[in-house]
Chain A
Amino acid sequence: MFTNKGYHMNAINLAKANYIKELLNRDMREDSRALTDFRDISINTSILKNAEGSAQVDLGGTRVLCGVKLQPEETMKDTPDQGNLIVSAELLPLASKDYESGPPSPDSIELARVVDRGIRAGQCIDLKDLFIEEGKAWTVFVDLYILNFDGNFFDASYMAAMAALSSTWIPKYENGAAVMEERVRKLKVDNIVTATTFAKIGQKIILDPDVNEEAVASTRLTIAVDKEFIRAMQKGLSGSFTQKEIQDMVDIAFEKHAMLKDYVSPQSNQ
């Protein structure tokens, strides 16, 4: 939950939360979705021309913009033949009345790290492909910008990051410097990882919680998968899951992957 400093609780969300619990007792949701349905998804890529890659994802009311920038940097001592990937996330104050300007919040750091983990574990980007010359390699900066928050920024951010990376072009490198105006080849994306986030409210488990559902959830689980493997997981909040519940959620995550992957990268066969 996002703390609204100086305001000990949001009473209106609490009232909405009570209603959500009531509905879930009858297997219903406020927007008449089934318990394991995603909200509407739409993705636009290559929308920012100064970024080497970009995508905007709408997942219901949640809107995430992802920009990818490439920059030549010194290679690291222990990995002299490869580049680097840095994922950051910002919960912008324009996205919610509860977000404040300031240093990165724990929530934004968690989001960035969970997305980073899935991309890395899924070997989506071949870091060796980023090598330029002795001592130089591209660093790929993936910046996630939450523009409107209506719950479940994990899944939306995964899609935004994967779609932006899939649309990224690598600039020309000449005489020891990048020529940012000229882009010469597409960034190779070897694998697509998508995330599916669940929330537990009472004894019910729902997929893709919106902001009101998140407010009342006791537990949350994000499962990032590719076609074959689970690549990253993150449980949030203080509640718990049974092993059976986890197995069921993993099954659904794999089931949803085919659909999500098509949104992110319509042509790919991963």
Chain B
Amino acid sequence: MNTILIPGDLIETDVARNRNYYFTDGSNSYCTSMCILNNGRLVPLEGLWYPNEGETVVGVVKEVKNSIVEVDLSHFLRAIIIKSPRDRIAFRIGDIIEASVKQVEDKKTIILIFPRLLKNGQLLQVKAVKIPRIIGKNNTMVAQISSFTKSNIVIGYNGLIYIRGGDMALAVSAILKVAAEAHKPGLTEGVKKFLERELEVTEK
């Protein structure tokens, strides 16, 4: 088991840290969230999503004005798409969309670009901090779940996941399994076995 740190715990100087999960008090650094030490890296176990440029998000259209579409990302920051006259999407309240983070303005508003409508699927919400694990290194985890379940899966860094088609129930339970065991090693292999076992059961 790797070492789990809690808020206020000292972080050794040789640990690589994620800028959003520690603070420095003079010469020492301390954790601000539940974290795990993984091969000399500080990885958050709990915590909020801090948007970065280029990250994919999944959200729901909350308000449509003349030039601005407000999107609910289930996050404390407001998120908007600034419509351009060339945009051909007719946004309606309640539409599920996928988009990309362009920038965060003034620590208060996320500007989204490249929106795409997602239709006839299910929304699943997990803690945003678990998302990197659900994606996996070079997309391995989500690709694996997708290929076993034949579901189309779009993962938002904000913690919302869109699933459509295939064995959706199995896709949901596989994703929830990754979220619950995100801190454990050997997860890709474990999820593979889980999916194989479940599919075997249903085929019999």
Contact = CB atoms under 8 A, between A and B. Distances in A.
Is any CB of A less than 8 Å from a CB of B in the complex?
Answer: yes
A9 B122 contact: no
A12 interface: yes
Nearest to A32: B169
Interface stretch (A16-24, A135-143, A203-211): A16-24
B102 interface: no
Contacts of A15: 60, 94-96, 123
A12 B74 contact: yes
Interface residues of A, number: 13
The SS class assigned to the B binding surface is strand
Interface string A15-37: 11011001000000010100000
Contacts of B122: 16, 19, 30
A11 B72 contact: yes
B158 to A, nearest CB: 11
A18 B62 CA distance: 14
A14 interface: yes
Interface in B91-134: 93-96, 120-123, 125
A56 to B, nearest CB: 24
Interface string B54-74: 000001111100000001101
A68 B160 CA distance: 41
Contact of B60 (A8, A11, A30, A32): A11
What class of interface size applies to chain B in its complex with A? 10 to 19
Nearest to B73: A12
Interface of A: 8-12, 14-16, 18-19, 22, 30, 32
A16 B169 contact: no
A221 B123 CA distance: 28
Contacts of B59: 11
Given A12-B60, A15-B123, 12 more contacts: A11-B60, A11-B62, A11-B72, A12-B72, A12-B123, A15-B60, A15-B94, A18-B94, A19-B121, A22-B120, A30-B122, A32-B169
Interface of B: 59-63, 71-72, 74, 93-96, 120-123, 125, 160, 169
A10 B72 CA distance: 8
A15 B125 CA distance: 12
A12 B158 CA distance: 13
A15 B59 CA distance: 9
Given A9-B62, A32-B169, A14 B93 contact: yes
Contacts of B71: 11
A25 B53 CA distance: 40
Nearest to A20: B122
A8 B62 CA distance: 9
Contacts of B93: 9, 11, 14
A214 to B, nearest CB: 17
A19 B61 CA distance: 15
Nearest to A23: B122
